Every structure is written in C-alpha cells, then in structure tokens.
Structure 1
C-alpha cells in the first residue's frame, strides 16, 4: 500500500509521532542477524516505494534500484567485499586491527535480497533546478532514498545492512552498470533474528555516540566543536 492524497495532509497524531521516533531510533545496520526467510513481494514493494518517495533535487528522482537475488552474483560481490575488507584491516594498527577483524561487516550471502542503489547524474538534463551551483545534490538526493528505505524496512521489521567496503568499479562491472552511473549504496535486506538495542559498533566498543551538544553551534562555526 502506498499512501496518497488527503491521508498525507492530516495532522500527525501524538501516537503517530511517537511511532515514527520509535522506528527512527530503532534503526540498526544489520550484519550477522539475517534469517533465510524470504521477504514477501508486497513488503519489498512498500520498502522500494518509500525509497522512491524520497526528496530529490529538482524532483529529478535520479535513483535506480537493482534487486539482486542470484546466488552466483551475490557470491561474486561477497568476494569483492572480502578482498576490500582484508585491505581495510591492514589500515588499522594493533588492537584496533584485531577488533576490526572480529566484526562481521557484511551479510551479502546471508540476506535473501541485496539491493544496489545508483544515481544517474544526467537525469533531468544538463541544467536541473537546484543543481546549478551544487551539482552534488543528486548524490545527496539518492542518499535520502537510502535513508527512506532503511526506515521503511525497520517499520516492516526487516533488517538492512549497508556494505561500503568494496571496489565500486568492480561492482559496476559485475552488475553491468553503465560507466556514467554512480553507485551510491549496496544494501543487504532480510528478516532478522533480532535488532540490537544500541548500534552494533557501539555494543562492540568500536565507537560511542557523540554528545549532540558537541556538534551544534549558533550562527557561526564554533572552533571548539572539533572532535
């Protein structure tokens, strides 16, 4: 079901507001908790529709969604991740590297569905409203689609894991993505055994959440907010 028309113009109730924040604060990046249960087609449709209803610069809707189910393709992408992950581990030192190697950072083979979200930077033509002075706004718009997808999935009790540790050019080759198209996100999607109460990287002592007060300034940049 996609909500349309007058339903969207009603005042949000306190319960609806609370439900929204519950979904927002309950969103987690999923890596190790995927189940093999298939995601129903109507659930996937609602999640993709939510992504497609993200805000976009000049209403250009620059995104495309590649739904990956084929095992061999997923295996090839998993191999890409494994190679990049080994390279990334070497960039950390001592205990940090040891901690890194103990964290599973992708559920490519575990999740029943993978989705690659791309940005067509030529969509809308050579001049797009809102991109005249900030051409990167189409990339930001596509990231908004990713966020919509994540929140919609959480509302459906579906887990999402964003895999960024892989060579994008090799990924484009595997998925036959044209050179001019930009890969923005590769996501693993599926039912999960559970969601962490806190972000997994926080639970596993990689990094804690920064206090909001350290990130907010008034009127001008505050040099004290250097984290």
Structure 2
C-alpha cells in the first residue's frame, strides 16, 4: 500500500517549496493568534539531531524594541556593504529587512546548555544550527501555504541582539524573522530579480560517488547518444 499523499496534496507541498520567498516588503496588518500558534507548532515539529529541539522563539511586539533592532541591522548593513568592496553601492540599494513593517517579528535563538547534547553533535556541533534551520524552514513553508510572507534577517551583531533580548549566557541568536501579510510574492527570488545572484543549476551541485563526479541523474547531451 502506498504511503504517498494524494496527488493534489503532493502538488501543494511542492508549490509551497517553489513559491516560498525571502520577503522584504510587507503590508502591515496582523497575524491572528491562532494562525501564529499554528505556524509555530509547525516549526516545533521540525526534525532535530538527537531530538535536542534547540530552537527558542521570542515574539517582539514592542515598537521601541523593534526600532532598536532595526538600528542594529542598519549598522551591520553599512559594515557589510563596506566589506563587499566594489559591490558596496549595489548592496546599499537592496532592501534587506522589514522589521518595522511586518505584522510579526520573531527572534530565533539557539538555546543555552546545548553542550549537554552529544548525540549527533560530538563531531558535528553545528547540528544545533542545522536543526533550528529546519524549524525555520517549516515555519517558512507553512507561512507561504497560509498566504503570509516571511523574511530571514541575519544582518546583526549577535552580542547586541542578545543584550536587547535578555538572552542567557550560552544562547545564540541566529535569525530575526519578519512575518505577515504582503501585497504580492516575488515571482523569483528578490536577489535574483535584482541581478545580485542567480540560482545554480542543480546538475552542478549533485555528484556521484565522489566530489566533482557528475551525477547520472543529469545526463549530458553526449551521454544520451
């Protein structure tokens, strides 16, 4: 007996994956509490290495606190632009966040005490970040399915954000998530639309047996002859 979803359900999953966008433009409004709880429940059902569940979410509604976080982001935006050298001006023209415009702002942090979790992390301690990223992706896909936009902001000094949010020692902020209604979803990733970068062809990123060995999943024209 097949364990696959019904065909229309499968299509919906892939639609959410392909139409999800890292949004920067928001339309204000609100996210109903029951919807936000549903989205966070989806995030909380993400896989985590050793079932450590390292994600912690802080909902930020205070306008003054949002403004301070916005200021932190803007400082880092300028420093990032300078570090980019010849691309500084192009970077400064990009919209990189919607902290003041989004209906909801969620800070995501890795929990303190993560060193206690050895299962799956003894040689790969970064699996706490990988696990929390799965939770963020769950939230992102669920938000898109619910018609809400979401943007992941990572332009900030972690120490400044930790101080503003009262994080305990050992906790580590990894994302500020802007979430809420949008006027439209970008037809393609914003950075691709702005010609900042482009999506790499999948065939260049998948190998067989060893690094650099082209995969038979993507035969070249000559290999089909």
TM-score (norm 1): 0.89
Correspondence for 2:116: 126
1:145 aligns with 2:124: no
2:19 aligned partner: 26
Counterpart Cα distance in 1 of 2:178 and 2:95? 13
Deviations 1:118-173 (A, max 9, x none): 112525x7354222332221221111111111111111111111111111110000
Q: Is the 8 A contact 2:112 2:169 kept in 1?
A: no
Find 1:63's aligned residue among 52, 55, 68: 55
1:86 to 71, 78, 81: 78
State the distance in 1 between where 2:182 and 2:57 align: 22
Matched, 1:217 2:193: no
* Pairing 1:115–2:111 present: no
Given that residues 73 and 156 in structure 2 are in contact (C-alpha distance below 8 angstroms), is that contact kept between their aligned partners in structure 1?
yes
Q: Are residues 1:195 and 2:185 paired? A: yes
Change (3 A) 1:191 1:136: same
Which residue in 2 is equivalent to 1:182? 172
Question: Cα gap change, 1:107/1:173 in structure 2, threshold over 3 Å: closer, same or farther?
Answer: same
Pairwise CA distance, 1:86: 1.0
Residue 76 and residue 190 in structure 1: after superposition, are their counterparts in 2 closer, same or farther (change >3 A)? same
For residues 157-210 of structure 1, what are the alpha-carbon distances to aligned partners after superposition, in whole Å with 9 as ceiling and x for unaligned? 111111111111100000001121121211111100000110000111111111
Answer yes or no: is 1:49 the counterpart of 2:41. yes
Q: Distance in 2 between matches of 1:127 and 1:157?
A: 36
How many Å separate the matches in 2 of 1:38 and 1:25? 25
Is 1:100 the counterpart of 2:91? The answer is yes
Alpha-carbon distance in 2 for matches of 1:30, 1:50: 19
Superposed displacement of residue 10, structure 1: 5.9
Alpha-carbon RMSD: 1.9
Contact 1:121–1:138 under 8 Å retained in 2: no
Check conservation: 1:143, 1:184, Cα contact below 8 A: no
> Where does residue 170 of structure 1 map in the other structure?
160
Q: What residue number does 1:16 align with? A: 9
Q: Distance in 1 between matches of 2:84 and 2:95?
A: 16
Among 126, 130, 134, the alignment partner of 1:136 is 126
- Scaled by the length of structure 2, the TM-score of the pair is 0.90
Q: Could you list the runs of 5+ residues in structure 2 that have no partner in the other structure?
A: 216-225
Count of aligned residue pairs for this structure pair: 214
